Amino acid sequence: MKTVKDRFLKYVSFDTQSQDGVDEVPSTAKQLELAKFLVEELTELGLSEVELLDHGYVFATLPATTDRDLPVLGFIAHMDTSDAISGANIRPREIENYDGGDIVLNEALNVVMKVSDFPTLPEFKGETLIVTDGTTLLGADDKAGIAEIISMVAYFKEHPEIEHGKIRIGFTPDEEVGNGTKYFDVDKFGADYAYTVDGGRLGELEYENFNAASGRVVINGVSIHPGSAKWKMKDAIRIAMEFQAMLPVYEDPYCTEGYEGFFHITEIEGNTEKTKLNYIIRDHDADKFEAKKALFAKVGEFINAKYGEGTADVTITDSYHNMKEMVEPNMHLVENAKKAMIELGIEPRVEPIRGGTDGASLSYMGLPCPNICTGGMNYHGKYEYVSVDAMFKIVELLKKLVLIYAE
């Protein structure tokens, strides 16, 4: 019988990296290879209504085993991996009975995951970890979530004597580039409530996330030979640096944590004539979020007043909003998840997400959807790892949640 570890190691063999800036969903055709594989696996498990939908969504149903009127629960994870670092040719390595010290990921390249850099590492002493070879990400975000969901439904499929309600599962493309729910059909999915399984360390439970916007700035300069540039040249690179310098230095990701929001410059390119800057703007508090967007626009207005109208072309686009407002009327989702964790001896870690998940958008689409852990750590980089012990516990957690809703 396949274990959650077996499934995970198979899924990470698929390169499913999504690509930002592509309007089409999925943004990369290679995501469909994993989607097709999952459809085959779910069909072999005997689930019903297994479908590969337009745009690469995978839906399936585990039918109820009782005639009682129980809510339809959904469990959702995403298939793509971040475009921050390669997700191709992943070579996972298993470390049994981890000793709590530094981990050499790649001796030849001198890539070492150090306790001094990652001080929570010793907390995993004695557990089995899966790590990278130091050249790619791992893919626990979110293939660990997929493996845990499928392992959970496989268990119930093998034990039809256990009473539970109807379960819907959904796997999405392009979550990492903000389009995971762009074509998600909530009505077709048909769940009353759902959970995304897309968090981090064991015990994480999240129903608050950032309000998010993207900011794009185009600085239009004037290129003049520097020997005769006085009062004529407008160096777009220098003005772009001035724009960045006018944003609060203490509202940068480097300086923030918890509920603190930020401005984060993610890309800058250009020359004297034209320079482009891309930002993400984040805050949990709606009023502070609006204030950040207003400040961002105000900086552009100042640049235009100083150097001439049209120097700074500023565009702000909302991405997603804090799911808290949608989840709070359905707090049984949070309370039942905490109850399941406590009954399994897992310490609940109720924390705000310093980012977003598909669940944020789904909550505003009418499907209340908090986020629970996968057991992964250090996402989006070569230091990503996952605890196998945690993955097995999370399968038990998902099973427990289903049973709580069947009480």
* 78 labeled binding residue: yes
Residues 6+ apart with CB under 8 A from 53: 59, 183, 185, 188
* 198 labeled binding residue: yes
Name the pTM for this structure: 0.89
Tokens in use for 320?
Answer: 């997603």
Told to judge if 80 belongs to the known catalytic residues of this protein, a careful annotator would answer yes
* 332 labeled binding residue: no
**Interatomic CA distance for residues 260 and 190, integer angstroms:** 35
**Interatomic CA distance for residues 210 and 357, integer angstroms:** 10
Told to judge if 117 belongs to the known catalytic residues of this protein, a careful annotator would answer no
407 residues of the chain, pLDDT tens digit each? 899 999 999 999 999 999 988 989 999 999 999 999 999 999 999 999 999 999 999 999 999 999 999 999 999 999 999 999 999 999 999 999 999 999 999 999 999 999 999 999 999 999 999 999 999 999 999 999 999 999 999 999 999 999 999 999 999 999 999 899 999 999 999 999 999 999 999 999 999 999 999 999 999 999 998 999 899 999 999 999 999 999 999 999 999 998 999 999 999 999 999 999 999 999 999 999 999 999 999 999 999 999 999 999 999 999 888 999 999 999 999 999 999 999 999 999 998 888 778 998 999 999 999 999 999 999 999 999 999 999 999 999 999 999 999 99
Centroid of chain to Cα 282? 15
Annotated catalytic residue within 15, 41, 148, 175:
175
* 380 labeled binding residue: yes
Instruction: For each of the domains in the chain, give its residue range(s) and CATH number, in order of start.
Output: 4-208+322-404 (3.40.630.10), 211-320 (3.30.70.360)
Annotated catalytic residue within 80, 174, 251, 283:
80
* 159 labeled binding residue: no
Give the count of alpha carbons within 13 A of 267, CB side only. Answer: 12
Asked if omega into 313 is within 30° of 0 (cis), the reply is no
**Interatomic CA distance for residues 237 and 234, integer angstroms:** 9
